Amino acid sequence: MKWKLTVQYLISILFIVFVVIFVNLLVLLGLLAYQQTHGNDSLSDETGETFTRQFSQYLSMENGQPAISEKGIEELKKFGGWLQVLDQNGQVVTSALAPDEAPSHYSPVELVHKYKYLDEQYTTHYIGQFEDYSYLLGVQHSAEERFVIMFNAQSVTTYVSKAIMWITIADLLIAMLIGLLFSSIITKPVSYMIDRISQLKKRNFSVQKTTRHGIFKPVFSNLNAVSETLEAHEEERRKLEKMREEWISNVSHDLKTPLASIQGFSELLKEPDITESERADYAEIIEQKSIYMKELLDDFNLTMRLRNQEMPLNREGTRLERFVRELVIEVLNDSKYSEHAITFKSSGEDSMRQIDRHLMKRAILNFINNAIVHNDPDTEITVSVTETGITIEDNGKGIAKKDIEQIFNRYYRGSNTENIEGTGLGLAISKDIIEAHGGSVTLTSEIGKGTKVEVLL
């Protein structure tokens, strides 16, 4: 994988270099072509050759002789030059701004010599054509310099082709060396990232330490964060799977017992010699076991809906103090719990809360019922309404430390619940209901001193 990435990177680098060279050549050729075919509007901004070729526009024939216009003389002054017009024999027929020492006649050889070389006054000469006349334009101390180069076009073409080829090869070699250097820096961490993603795909969530992160440091950091998150989710999934298996085992056991009773007493009802009193007792037992099974299935359905956030809340404006006081009175009016010492207190204002009364009632009653059924009859239970929520506190047996950590888990039964009837979902349901309202539940307990449940709303 590493070498594959390196080769791909090198191919990309070489392709980019080749494209850059090709584009540079096109730009160079385009500029040369533009310069040859286009000129500037102002003569004063042109080169000497261009100025000379275009100066013929300021020449005209008057009385059979060439004449220079006033505009032409102004342009000569701007350009810093002078002009002499020659006939076919090299004789000067008219001039403008020419120095006194300028010759009045030129032979062909002299014209060629002046065009090619500077004279003693460092004057650069240019030659133009106007009808049957030629004109010589001189510029003293010109910023331009003329070099005469003789070359063979075929040789130059061959030379330029070879030069371009070797320059291209050299550029590609340099790009390859630089590409190899940088590819070792870039492709190595990329290859490592691909391996790490492959490990995550195989559910290997271990966090790995690496050195020389370079520009990929945030990527490695995020990969490790993803590994930690996935590991936490995997651990949570394993816990839920274990609890689900335990719950299925408990539910299966809890269902087998009432089902066995229902089946047994149903068979007894078929006996012809049973009395009406026995028949009524058997029917009552069957009814009780059926109700228990229904409650078990209802709790299972409710906890699943709460867990998947599929339980809509029917919120109503409720005065919290009055609501909790009525719950405590309802518990005390139950004949099963009328002898228990349950006290109601309120240390805050009777604040208004938006709650689902039915679900919140079930959650709070679950906490109170647990305090009752898991403790001795003489246990004192205090239900308090505070500014932040509700507190249920008792001075009973307390809960073992190992059970506190899992007390709100679904399907979990504590070590002191062997002889207690119930589905094992009560506290989990209560916690889910509170959290569905945007609240939270905390439980503290100590063996022999009691338990305290705080519901924060």
pLDDT at 210 over 70: no
Instruction: Please report, rounded to a whole number, the percentage of residues in the chain having pLDDT higher than 70.
Output: 83
What's the rounded mean pLDDT across residues 296-312? 72
pLDDT digits (tens, 9 = 90+) for 252-297: 777 787 888 888 888 888 888 888 888 888 888 888 888 888 877 7
Instruction: Please report, rounded to a whole number, the percentage of residues in the chain having pLDDT higher than 90.
Output: 13
Higher pLDDT, 250 or 294: 294
Q: What is the pTM of this model?
A: 0.44
What's the rounded mean pLDDT across residues 203-212? 71
**Structure token digits, residue 83:** 């002009």
Instruction: Report the alpha-carbon distance of residue 127 to residue 123 in Å, rounded.
Output: 13
The CATH number given to 316-456 is 3.30.565.10
pLDDT at 43 over 50: no
Fold topology of 218-307? Helix Hairpins (1.10.287)
> Which of 91-105, 355-369, 404-418 has the lowest average pLDDT?
404-418
What's the rounded mean pLDDT across residues 33-61? 73
The band of 44, judged by pLDDT with boundaries at 50, 70 and 90, is: very low
What's the rounded mean pLDDT across residues 388-407? 86
> Which of 92-96, 231-235, 341-345 has the lowest average pLDDT?
231-235
pLDDT at residue 105, as a whole number: 92
Domain definitions of the chain by residue range: 48-140, 218-307, 316-456
Strand partners, 183: none
pLDDT at 182 over 60: yes
pLDDT at residue 40, as a whole number: 47
> Which of 58-67, 148-157, 337-346 has the lowest average pLDDT?
148-157
pLDDT digits (tens, 9 = 90+) for 314-341: 889 999 899 999 988 888 888 877 778 8
